[in-house]
Structure 1
């Protein structure tokens, strides 16, 4: 057992306790640095979101090659009979669906742009779909481009065939499979209708789930715990040393 003297203070350091304390401090410092890195990543995402270009009335070829988060504005018409319901969507603690409509315009060359119009509540009876009325006529649609994952995590693989009736409930918008299986000429991206657009249903599209400030706050907590572990160890060591000195004096 090593003895460390700092001025008039005597510390008796147990090797095992010292090793565990140093290991714990290293882990907490590493977690703090990781939170800082995550905060910087989230800030970069938010900066890209704020600086994303805005394109007006693009054609189908242009839309198909847009990067995620690009803002677009189009005048288009929705197919009021055919739309998708994305299952298991939560808004403010309630379960429901995202309504994905099919938009068409002369610039789209016969292809459809999937448009996520927002969230609707699910009923108690899963066999009954919510009653939805889509707006008719030419509409002003604006929002941001989202590129769905090509390999989403699903509990069960989806298969698509031309449906006998609409709407169609899906787990995830696998657009390539929808295009091939349901024989609908879909563009490979989805438009998330802007939150301030008066059309559609309630919707919230957070840029990031956790803000950079929250990550930085967690980093401070981890660093604080590391400092606390360091202080507690040496205070405990000093107290043990004082006890040992008292026993030696009594003897």
Structure 2
């Protein structure tokens, strides 16, 4: 009976050790792959930054416009401004403002969703919106083409008010009936007169953290291996002494 219980215990211990070792090793490899992805994105972004600015027509026609700098000329459609909630800068909560820019084209005109920048929120009134000066006439906007507006995790259905967690281009096009293009622009104009922060994170940000997590997972997998081998050595010696 004792032999069966010991064998069952040893089998469970081995299964747990194999599972824990494989899991932590796999998580370490995954963190490494995430770090490599971030570095590859940063390299592609650096290459795109060395290329000349695109016009809207070039951005609409080109397949490799993502990450490229683009120069737009049009007017703000301030009535459609959306405030993306729970965006942080230096640990401070705030909003990222998204306003459509109406841009004339040869075929009449389109609208481009522009993520204009970040503004802190009012701690006393969470529903209060920041007052951002916005020109009423024609403006020139310089930014970077992105395939979608950066998202945060969201539970439930998306709200439709001015304050939202995320903004989907296709959904907003259907909601507003604006002729929105299929990409957005992160505005990067230096020294903005509107007071918005435009220090957008680079793709490489977080790679060091991924490397740190990978090291922790690999260390844990190594610890599991060492403990299991150590247990087997102790068990072998105990059985030999009993004999």
Does TM, normalized by the shorter one, top 0.5? yes
1:115 maps to 2:150: no
Give the strand-richer structure, 1 or 2: 1
Q: 1:18 aligns to what SS in structure 2? A: helix
- Equivalent positions of 1:97-246 (< 5 A) are 97-107=95-105, 109-123=108-122, 124-135=124-135, 139-148=139-148, 155-157=156-158, 168-194=162-188, 196-200=190-194, 201-208=196-203, 211-242=206-237
Shift of the 78–232 alpha-carbon distance from structure 1 to 2, 3 Å rule, reads same
Name the counterpart of 2:6: none
Q: Is the 8 Å Cα contact of residues 53 and 68 (structure 2) preserved in structure 1?
A: no
Deviation at 1:51, TM superposition (A): 1.7
**Count of aligned pairs between the two proteins:** 228
* 1:61-100 equivalences in 2 (<5 Å): 62-63=59-60, 67-74=65-72, 76-79=73-76, 81-91=78-88, 92-100=90-98
Kindly provide the CA deviation profile for residues 93-150 of structure 1, in whole angstroms up to 9, marking residues without a partner as x.
Answer: 333322223334555743232221111233333554322211465544222112227x
Larger radius of gyration: 1
Which shows bigger deviation, 118-127 or 54-63? 54-63
Q: Verify the 8 A CA contact 2:158 2:166 in the aligned structure 1.
A: no
Q: Which structure features the higher share of helix residues?
A: 2
How much does 1:159 deviate? 5.6
1:28 and 1:170 map into 2 onto residues whose CA distance is: 37
Counterpart CA distance in 2 for 1:146 and 1:65 is 13
Residue segments in structure 1 that go unaligned for 5+ positions in a row: 2-12, 161-167
Query: SS of the residue aligned with 1:97?
Result: strand
* Residues 12-52 of structure 1 deviation map (CA, whole Å, 9 limit, x = unaligned): x9444334323322222222222222222222222222222
Would the aligned equivalents of 1:77 and 1:136 in 2 still touch at CA under 8 Å? Answer: no
Q: Are the aligned partners of 1:80 and 1:133 in contact in 2 as well (CA < 8 Å)? A: no
Cα 1:61–1:44 change in 2 (3 A) is closer
**TM-score with structure 1 length normalisation?**
0.70
Alpha-carbon distance between aligned partners in 2 of 1:41 and 1:169, rounded to the nearest angstrom: 32
TM-score (norm. length: structure 2):
0.72
Q: 1:159 to 1:228 in 2, by over 3 A?
A: closer
Q: What runs of 5+ residues in structure 2 fail to find an aligned partner?
A: 4-8
